[in-house]
Structure formats: C-alpha cells, structure tokens
Chains A and B, each alone.
Chain A
Amino acid sequence: MGDQTVLVVTSLEDATADGVIRELGARGVPVARVDLAEFPRHATVSVRTPPGRGTDDVTHGTLCTASRTVDLTAVRALYYRRPGTFRFPPMAPEDRKFAFLQAGYGFGGALASLPNCLYVNHPARESFAEAKPAQWAAAAAVGLEVPPTLLTNSPDEARIFAAEVGRIVYKPLRTLPMHDPGGKPLIMYVTEADPASLDESIRHTAHVFQLLVEKTADIRVTVIGSRVFAVRIDSGILDWRADYTTHTYTVVDTPPGMATALRAYLDRFGLAFGVFDLGRRDRRGRGL
C-alpha cells in the first residue's frame, strides 16, 4: 500500500477495532489489518537492514497479508488492540516453543520497531504499564490518590492488612478467560474479601487487596492524545461490570487538573491512549 497506512493489529472478532477501521475508511485513510494469529501461515514479513550508516530509518521491509502488502517504512500509525496469538502448523512441542519465540521476537519485533510510527499503544510499553505496582507509582507521582493497597503472597501480611484498614476488596492483577468444570464462563469482579477467608492458599501466587472505598459513582475516563472523555456511571454496586442493567450513564466534564494528571500518567509510560476507572466520593478527592 502507499504512504501513510494505518496498521491495525487486532483479532478478527474485535468489534471495537472494526469501529476504528470504519472511521479511518470514512476519512480516506488507507488501512491494513493483521492479527498475530495470521502469522506465519497467512502473513509474511520481510525486513532488511538499511544500506549505509547514520540513518534512523532502521527498518526496511514489507508485511503481506491475504489482502494487503504494506511498506513498513510508510506506516504512519499502528493501532494495537487485543490481537490473538501466533498459530502454527502441527509441530513437535519443542519445535513449537522455538517457532513461538522466533515469531515473537521476529514478527513482533518488526511491528514494534517501525520508524516514525505513532503507536496506539506500543505493545511493549503497554505491557509494562499493565503492572499494578508501576501503575500505583505513576498515579502517586502525578497526584492521583490510590487507596491503601497490598500486593502479597503472604497470608499473614494479608490478614494484618485487613485488620489495619478495615473492609477490603480483592482485585486480580490480570484477568483471563476462565471456565467452570461444566464449561460455563467465569469472571472475576472486584469483590469484598472476607478476612476470615484469607488462608494459606494466598501463598500460591500474588494477590492484591485494597481498602474498600465508599464511592458515590464511578467515572470512566478515556484519554487519547490530548483529548479526554469522561462518563459518570451510577450503578449502586461495587463493580459496575457485574450488572449492566443497573447503569445510568452521564457524560461529564473532566476537571482540568484531572485531565492534566491523567495525560501525565500516560506520558510516564509513553502511551498515547488509556482508559481509567475512577471512583467518585462525597468529599473532595481523586481516586483510582
């Protein structure tokens, strides 16, 4: 494809990416869509070192999908939105490990090294930004208030924390698709943790506990570049994802100070885009 292509790295099932692609198409922006799951069988990448020295134009190459051929040096922006993972033809387990690592550092490395490309977001930076301790540090640095929080695999520390702060919630560090023995999908909401349940099984991996903050509403803030969009969600429940029928949505203005803080937060991670779930309280204050 010609200059100024936007490369969308996402799964075929992602409806949000479809919305972005339709809007780009309406604006006449050339788009190429690729999923990591297309590599290596349905996508081909070739990258060469540049001729000569002293250039920052480090990646010369092409990406070929079933419907597009993309000059990687001409990609103006890359939208990275929940892609699948590499799919290989049948291989021995050891060979598959090898192929997976090569694909990650090769195909993934090529997409992560595009010159003069706006990443929304860069996958490596986004991966680091998903670490909760890094989030808490960044939030505190830009002036956001984080409720008392504990990350631990120590049952004793968990019990001491609960005794110190009062009512607490459990928050998974990351979520993943889960199913019960019958195959029904499961989900982890933010739930209040019963201190009496904090037993030795906490030892088996990392857990996050946080003070249960009494909130009057949730505020979801979306930041893209310098633009900030906020919506108030009144649900009356601890985790609004648990029951969408309870919601009332109201578009609200973001206080300038808050918008500046959130933009600074993303800048610390080198991110163009981020979504924040904030809790609104009766007294003046900010919270994550």
Chain B
Amino acid sequence: MLFPSDELLPTYPHSAHPPDPGGPLVRPWGVLQAVPISSEPLPDCHPTVVRVELDPDTQTTLCYDQHGYLVVAAGKHRKTYEWREIAEDTEPDQDSADGKTHTDYVRRQVPVD
C-alpha cells in the first residue's frame, strides 16, 4: 500500500476535505464488476480444515479436520491415469453376415505407475 488509509491519519476539524462528507452512499463503477467465484463445490470426501497450527520442528503448517485428525497434503502432482488407444474385441454383430468379432480401437483411461 503506497498511501495509508485515513483511519491511520490525524483528522483536522476544519479540513477542506473531511474524511466523510456525508450524503447518500455511492459505489465506484469498478466494484460492480465483481462476480461470484465460479468454482465447483468440493467433493464430500474432501476434508474440511478447521484448525491450523505451526509444526515447531519443521516450521510448516499442520492442518486438522473437524474430527481432530491431521490432514496430510498430497505429494507432488502426479499423473495416475493416462489416455491410451486400446484394442477391444466387440461382440459379434447379430446382423453380421460372417458372425465374427471385430476389433475396435477405443480411448480409455488406464492407470500408470
């Protein structure tokens, strides 16, 4: 903050620019541009942190949920699934003249190590 708020400055009884000149409330144009945060709600399984405290040894934050359990942060972001082209044999089409199975290539998510 380059300049302090008037709450921290002295006021003068005869100032030409009193802190609050009175009158009806106004709203700056910019403040009306604020919108609700468009975030999706957290899944039910997401722990709710209700208390934080400092770990005196590591100087990191310890987070506790509503049951008093320590919420452990996940490690580095890691890819656990990836999209792969997988060959799948389809069931024979009943209308198929030859009655044979066909191989389709489909994209599925598969776990990776």
- How many chain B residues have a CB neighbour from A under 8 Å? 27
Q: How far is the CA of A185 from the CA of B36 in the complex (A)?
A: 6
- Chain B residues with CB under 8 A of A198: 29
From residue B83, how far is it (CB to closest CB) to chain A in Å?
A: 13
> 10 closest A-B pairs (Cβ-Cβ)?
A67-B56, A186-B34, A204-B28, A33-B59, A201-B29, A205-B28, A202-B29, A18-B60, A31-B59, A187-B37
Summed over the interface, the residue pairs from A and B with CB atoms below 8 Å come to a total of 90
- Asked whether B36 lies within 8 Å of A184 as measured between CB atoms, the reply is yes
- Asked whether B38 lies within 8 Å of A243 as measured between CB atoms, the reply is yes
- Asked whether A186 lies within 8 Å of B35 as measured between CB atoms, the reply is yes
- Asked whether A242 lies within 8 Å of B38 as measured between CB atoms, the reply is yes
Given contacts A14-B61, A204-B26, 12 further A-B contacts (CB under 8 A): A12-B52, A18-B73, A21-B59, A25-B60, A32-B59, A67-B59, A68-B59, A172-B33, A178-B34, A187-B34, A191-B33, A199-B29
Query: How many residues of A sit at the interface, in one of the four size bands?
Result: 35 or more
The verdict on B53 contacting chain A, using a C-beta distance below 8 Å, is yes
Which B residue sits closest to A202, measured CB to CB? B29
The verdict on B16 contacting chain A, using a C-beta distance below 8 Å, is no
Which B residue sits closest to A22, measured CB to CB? B60
Interface string of B34-60 (1 = CB under 8 A from A): 111110100000000000111010111
Which A positions have Cβ atoms within 8 angstroms of B?
8, 12-15, 18, 21-22, 25, 31-33, 66-68, 97, 100-101, 127-128, 131, 170, 172, 178, 180, 184-189, 191, 193, 197-199, 201-202, 204-205, 207, 242-243, 245
The verdict on B82 contacting chain A, using a C-beta distance below 8 Å, is no
- Asked whether A188 lies within 8 Å of B56 as measured between CB atoms, the reply is no
Which B residue sits closest to A245, measured CB to CB? B40
What are 5 sample pairs from A and B whose C-beta atoms fall under 8 A apart? A12-B53, A12-B61, A33-B54, A188-B34, A199-B29
- Chain B residues with CB under 8 A of A13: 52, 61
Contact of B8 among A8, A97, A180 (CB under 8 A): A97
- Chain A residues with CB under 8 A of B34: 178, 186-188
Which B positions have Cβ atoms within 8 angstroms of A?
1-2, 7-8, 26-38, 40, 52-54, 56, 58-61, 73
- Chain B residues with CB under 8 A of A207: 28-30
- Asked whether B59 lies within 8 Å of A188 as measured between CB atoms, the reply is no
- Asked whether A188 lies within 8 Å of B61 as measured between CB atoms, the reply is no
From residue A93, how far is it (CB to closest CB) to chain B in Å?
A: 9
- Asked whether A22 lies within 8 Å of B54 as measured between CB atoms, the reply is no
Which B residue sits closest to A18, measured CB to CB? B60
- Chain A residues with CB under 8 A of B8: 97, 100-101
Contact of B27 among A68, A189, A201 (CB under 8 A): A201
- Chain B residues with CB under 8 A of A32: 59
Which B residue sits closest to A179, measured CB to CB? B34
- Chain A residues with CB under 8 A of B36: 180, 184-187
Which A residue sits closest to B49, measured CB to CB? A13
